[in-house]
Structure 1
Amino acid sequence: MAPPPEYTAEHTKERATERSPIGRRSLLLGTAVLGAAGALGATGCGRIPSGDTLARLKSQRTVRLGIAGEAPYGFIDEQGDFTGEAVELAKVIFKRLGVADVQPVATDFSSLIPGLNSQQFDVVSAGMYINKERCAQVIFADPEYQMLDSFIVRKGNPKGLRSYQDVVRTKATIATGTGYAEIDYAISAGVPEKEIIILQDPVAGLNAVESGRVDVFAGTALTGRSVVRKSRKAETTEPFAPVVDGKKKIDGGGFAFRPTDTGLRDAVNSQIHRMRKSGELFRILRPFGFTEAEMTTLTAEELCA
């Protein structure tokens, strides 16, 4: 199903208008929170002083989390509350580290790393994939989950799309999310970058597939099955590992920190390892659609390499 003439790669410049209710609410609230953070900066509490970041967070009793308004990782629910696997995990971990209050700050996914490094928040807690490019900009805790990709397609998958190579073969119209790793996977398979349509979030992707504006929206297997659950027009494909440079790629997502915050990263890592071992990590992630197959023993070091 080809998009109408105006819905081309040029449409990516207008993607802010494609936001779902979750995306709009998240970003509006994120603006308000960022304003509050600016007010904190005026009193000398919002900027990052030199020294031990964890000690500062304990003293302030608040940690600011960068999230992207994307279910199931970090989003606003129907009651207007921040939740998601990464947010709920952060609440448990930081409470144990002596930081009582978790304050999510919503922004575009592509703004998470710049926002972290410009001190708009203290930690990125958005289930962010750990990869070599991002590891050059931030440091990561070990992943809380591993993940394969899947496609959102029309019911019956009329073009038989089960891999990025299928997208190239059928000349299907593909969309994905802002800053998603799936952009690189599609390009690696031979999809011209200018032909990849960038949408705000998976809900916008589902809408685009249902309306026939695109043939496929590429994302994580978990995101896909969460978004299409109530759809009568769309479904997800079976999860698959993207092939990059001839090798299958399995991703993992976790907390990101500024490169100088090794002490904070190590403290969070210690908690994640304990929760992996006890099974508590899976118990926290399971309500958000994760399966035991998506638990992992991968390390950030392995994924960064």
Structure 2
Amino acid sequence: MAPPNRQSGNLENPTRRSLLAGVAALGALGAAGCSRVATASTADGGDLLDRLRAAGVVRLGIAGEIPFGYIDKDGQLTGEAPELAKVIFKRLGVDRVQPVPTEFGSLIPGLNSQQFDAVAAGMYVNPERCEQVIFADPDYQMLDAFIVRKGNPMGLHSYQDVVKKGAKFATGTGYAEIQYAVDAGYEESDILIVPDQVAGLNAVEAGRVDVFAGTALTVREIVKKSGRTESTRPFAPLVDGKPHVDGGAFAFRRTETRLRDAFNAELRKLKKSGELFRILRPFGFTKAEMTDLTAKELCGG
């Protein structure tokens, strides 16, 4: 799996095989992370932060998605969320982060079954997920975009266009884009669900689908070395008839409010100082994707 170029911020376009190879390269490092973490006390916001400080390591659930959290070609953990985690957890007295790779759709179940301590995968905050986990405040905001064939022959610029024009539609496992398409009137049973953005790119290139939906950042980076596809302009999906901007954040078990609050306190400092943008910029993020959105807003109350 190719890492981002930390000087230029460019991301190489990996193959599905290389993504899986990167996870496999984790080998011994990830093996310990596959065992369950010790059960934390639920009193007074949980004692996980104390236990992490004592252990000196925090286990992070990642989904192998560039640029959010992945293993690079040298077998090292990187991505916007892991790099941010390294900074914040060090400030919290936890010196080391350890990745636990899984599929995106398994992140919340894995967190709640204590296979890892936090989700570090750029996960969108939405009401459905807020019923299962607690989120830190978003570290970025994001619009959606499509991967389409060169020239966008079907003129697809929104989920409503996909429905009106009968386009064959794909998105990733557990992605929020599934619900956006359904809300626009697309039959969920007709959606091609693929493992990740690389598989989505391949599906468009092969003509199996007309469009793949993902985050604007993921889409614009993954098409850079594709001669047969392009990304559409970013757009806000409609939720209850209104344009909606998503925010991505770290997720924690519902009992671990103390850890979440400590994480949030450090995140606010990074936002205020401008250091957050310096951490995220090498992964293709722009100032337009910095945000003051809160988890409470995105959870719906």
1:284 to 254, 279, 282: 279
Structure 1 residue 47 corresponds to structure 2 residue 38: yes
Tell me, in whole angstroms, the C-alpha distance in 1 between the residues paired with 2:126 and 2:100: 23
Structure 1 segments, 4+ long, off by >6 Å, are: none
How far apart are residue 48 of structure 1 and its match? 2.1
Q: How does 1:257-268 map to 2 (within 5 A)?
A: 257-268=252-263
Partner amino acid for 2:75? G
Name the residue aligned to 1:247. 242
AA aligned to 2:21 is R
- SS of the counterpart of 2:68? coil
SS in 2 for 1:120: coil
Aligned-residue offset at 1:234: 0.6
State the SS of the aligned residue for 1:214.
coil
Asked if the contact 2:22–2:73 (Cα under 8 Å) also holds between the matched residues in 1, the reply is no
Choose the corresponding residue for 1:133, options 128, 132, 137: 128
Contact 1:23-1:200 at 8 Å conserved across structures = no
Alignment partners' CA distance in 2, 1:175 and 1:116: 26
The DSSP-based 3-state class of the residue aligned with 2:105 is helix
Q: In the alignment, is the contact (CA less than 8 A) between 1:126 and 1:255 conserved in 2? A: yes
State the distance in 2 between where 1:38 and 1:28 align: 13
User: For residue 14 of structure 1, what is the aligned residue in structure 2?
Assistant: none
**One of 16, 22, 30 as aligned partner of 1:20:** 16
CA distances 1:105-136 after superposition (whole Å, capped 9, x unpaired): 11000000000000000000100000000000
Identity %: 65
Displacement after TM superposition at 1:30 (Å): 6.7
The residue matched to 1:104 in structure 2 has which SS?
Answer: strand
Unaligned ranges ≥5, structure 1:
1-18
Three-state SS of the structure 1 residue aligned to 2:121 is: strand
Q: Secondary structure at the match of 1:277?
A: helix
| Structure (1/2) with the larger helix percentage | 1
Query: Structure 1 pair 296/104, CA: closer, same or farther in 2 (3 Å)?
Result: same
Q: 1:182 aligned to 2:177? A: yes
Letter in 1 for 2:235: F
1:237 pairs with 2:228: no
Cα RMSD (Å)? 1.5
Contact 2:26–2:71 (Cα < 8 Å) also in 1: no
| Aligned AA (1:24) | L
Tell me, yes or no, if the aligned pair for 1:22 and 1:75 is still in contact at 8 Å.
Answer: no
Question: Contact 2:34–2:100 (CA<8 Å) still a contact in 1?
Answer: no
* CA-CA distance at 1:29 after TM superposition: 5.5
Amino acid at match of 1:209: V
How many pairs align?
A: 282
Shift of 1:183: 0.1
Deviations, residues 162-182 of structure 1 (Å, cap 9, x unaligned): 000110111000000000000
Question: Secondary structure at 2:98's aligned position in 1?
Answer: strand
Q: Distance in 1 between matches of 2:273 and 2:280?
A: 13
What TM-score do the two structures reach when normalised by structure 2?
Answer: 0.90
What residue identity is the alignment partner of 2:40? P
Cα distance change, pair 289–239 in 1 and its aligned pair in 2 (3 A) = same
Alignment of 1:1-305 (within 5 A): 20-25=16-21, 27-28=23-24, 35-37=31-33, 46-50=37-41, 51-305=46-300
**What amino acid sits opposite 1:36 in the alignment?**
A
Q: Report deviation, 1:36.
A: 1.7
Q: Which residue of 1 aligns with 2:5?
A: none
8 A Cα contact 1:67 1:106, kept in partner: yes
In 2, distance between residues paired with 1:37 and 1:80? 15
Alpha-carbon distance in structure 1 between the residues aligned to 2:119 and 2:113:
12
